[in-house]
Amino acid sequence: MATVYQFLNGPSVLRLVHEGATLITGEGEDAVVQRFPGAEAAREHLERILQNRRRSGYRIETSATELPPGQFELAELAENVAWDEARRRMVVTFKSALAARDLVPAIVDAAAATRPICLRVACDPGSPGAAFAAAVRATTLPTVRRFIFDTDFQTLTRQRSNAIGDLADVFAGLPALESAFLSGELLLRPCEHPALRELWLLGDPLLPSTVSALARCSFPALTRLGLVLRSDHDDGPAAQAARALRSLAAPALRTVAVAGVDDIPAFLALLTPLPPHWTELHLTGSIADEHALLTVLEQHAVDLSRLTRLAVPLCDELSSEADERARKLLPNLLDSEELRDPFLPATYESW
């Protein structure tokens, strides 16, 4: 049980928390955590503070409280970690490139203590690198169901070199993970995860080795998958992505979204025939030859018409005549502009 001291002097209020050998002075980013060799040393230091405050005219109110798990850990990391108790959401911001890797063990320990449901990591501008994946795998965070590695105020291009290590290790350390939205230099080796239902991978470009590894992964619960193959980079791993999507062991997969496709007709040709369990396919990118698109749609009309929705960029890429003919070939065809972009932070804001 911790004791909370409030030092009152007019409108001025200072909060101090004492438990065992630890004192926390202040709150939020201004909190200062002091750890003493033992409870007696902490108590002696506290008594000196109380005497000095009384001499300065402060009125002191005390109360007993049960501190939430991880309170001291969070106080020490207040500059880099924000905690939303109501939502069980931890937001980590690596603010220093030099200190990012050194902070990883304490941050993962704090997550283990507080048991978040949602863990979000941003790089501003520090990037934790492989140390993060290694620490998560070694510690295991069994309560995390939603994980975000994205810096929402930066473009995907500016996040190109942000890294957290091999995603296979991250997934192994998050056994209850259901939703993941990940941006940057994403590394992956073949792995499996029984609980993952929603996966968004964004790169500029998405590494060909990562896309190829995806083909050998097993995600039996996965229902939604999104890939951004490139943003400002010259080209992305489209051929590898088409092969990976056809080979991925994900029998529950229903919705697939792929952005940054250089040649949508060629990509569709590689992707068909589609896995029979898919119901929605959303593609964005370029259509250099509208006749090639019409040919692919016509050749694979039976297969593609099984989908509930097939979305491609029509108005921005096709002539009005080609647009009209494409829609006649496939009544389930939509312009991708008619749908919400799933690769924006809005996808995870409610997580």
Q: How does pLDDT run across 90-114, given as a tens digit for each residue?
A: 999 999 988 999 999 999 999 999 9
- The answer to whether residue 3 scores a pLDDT higher than 80 is yes
Residue 49 sits in the same domain as residue 159 = no
Residue 181 sits in the same domain as residue 299 = yes
Give me the pLDDT at residue 158, please. Answer: 97
For 125-134, the pLDDT digits (tens) are 999 999 999 9
Give me the pLDDT at residue 185, please. Answer: 98
- The answer to whether residue 33 scores a pLDDT higher than 90 is no
Which DSSP letter does residue 13 get?
E
Starting at the edge strand that comes first in sequence, how are the strands of the sheet with 255-261 ordered? 81-84, 89-94, 118-123, 146-149, 179-183, 198-202, 224-228, 255-261, 280-285, 309-312, 333-335
Coil, strand, or helix at residue 53? helix
Which residue type occupies 41?
A
Give me the pLDDT at residue 256, please. Answer: 98
Residue 180 sits in the same domain as residue 287 = yes
Q: 304 near 326, Cβ under 8 Å?
A: no
Supply 124's token pair: 């501003």
Q: 16 near 25, Cβ under 8 Å?
A: yes
pLDDT confidence bin for 30, thresholds 50/70/90: confident
CA nearest 248: which of 279, 219, 278? Answer: 219
Which residue type occupies 51?
Q
Please write down the long-range contacts of 269-273, taking CB distance under 8 Å and 24 or more positions apart: 269/296, 269/300, 270/238, 270/239, 270/242, 270/243, 271/242, 271/245, 271/246, 272/296, 272/300, 272/303, 272/304, 273/300, 273/303
Give me the pLDDT at residue 11, please. Answer: 79
Residue 47 sits in the same domain as residue 103 = no
pLDDT confidence bin for 9, thresholds 50/70/90: confident
CA angle 175–179–181, rounded 5-degree value: 115
Lowest mean pLDDT among 2-6, 253-257, 261-265: 2-6
Total Cβ atoms within 10 A of residue 168 = 19
Lowest mean pLDDT among 26-30, 197-201, 232-236, 306-310: 26-30
- Mean pLDDT, range 245-256, rounded to an integer: 98
Residue 23 sits in the same domain as residue 125 = no
- The answer to whether residue 31 scores a pLDDT higher than 90 is no
Residue 101 sits in the same domain as residue 237 = yes
- The answer to whether residue 28 scores a pLDDT higher than 80 is no
- How far apart are alpha carbons 8 and 61 in whole angstroms? 8
Give me the pLDDT at residue 284, please. Answer: 97
Last residue of a domain, which of 37, 65, 93? 65
For 48-95, the pLDDT digits (tens) are 999 999 998 899 999 998 877 788 788 889 899 999 989 999 999 999
- The answer to whether residue 29 scores a pLDDT higher than 90 is no
Give the range of the structural domain holding residue 39, as residue numbers without chain letter: 2-65
Residue 243 sits in the same domain as residue 265 = yes
pLDDT confidence bin for 117, thresholds 50/70/90: very high
The domain that contains 233 carries what CATH number? 3.80.10.10
Residue 87 sits in the same domain as residue 46 = no
- Mean pLDDT, range 143-171, rounded to an integer: 98
- The answer to whether residue 189 scores a pLDDT higher than 80 is yes
- How far apart are alpha carbons 222 and 238 in whole angstroms? 21
173 or 53, greater pLDDT: 173
Give me the pLDDT at residue 78, please. Answer: 85
76 or 226, greater pLDDT: 226
Provide the domain count of the chain. 2
Total Cβ atoms within 10 A of residue 320 = 9
19 or 308, greater pLDDT: 308
Residue 153 sits in the same domain as residue 58 = no
Residue 34 sits in the same domain as residue 123 = no
Per DSSP, the chain holds a count of helices (H) and strands (E) of: 11, 16
Last residue of a domain, which of 49, 65, 81? 65
Residue 194 sits in the same domain as residue 122 = yes
Using CB atoms within 10 A of its CB, is residue 20 exposed (0-12), middle (13-18) or buried (19+)?
Answer: middle
Give me the pLDDT at residue 68, please. Answer: 78
Total count of residues recorded for the chain:
351
Residue 249 CA: distances (Å) to CA of 213, 244, 253, 283: 12, 10, 9, 21
- Mean pLDDT, range 42-49, rounded to an integer: 93
- The answer to whether residue 346 scores a pLDDT higher than 90 is yes
Residue 43 sits in the same domain as residue 88 = no
Which DSSP letter does residue 339 get?
S
Lowest mean pLDDT among 22-36, 37-51, 54-68, 165-179: 22-36
The domain that contains 52 carries what CATH number? 2.20.140.10
- The answer to whether residue 218 scores a pLDDT higher than 80 is yes
pLDDT mean across residues, the chain: 95
Please write down the long-range contacts of 33-37, taking CB distance under 8 Å and 24 or more positions apart: 33/72, 33/75, 33/76
- The answer to whether residue 303 scores a pLDDT higher than 80 is yes
Last residue of a domain, which of 31, 65, 99? 65
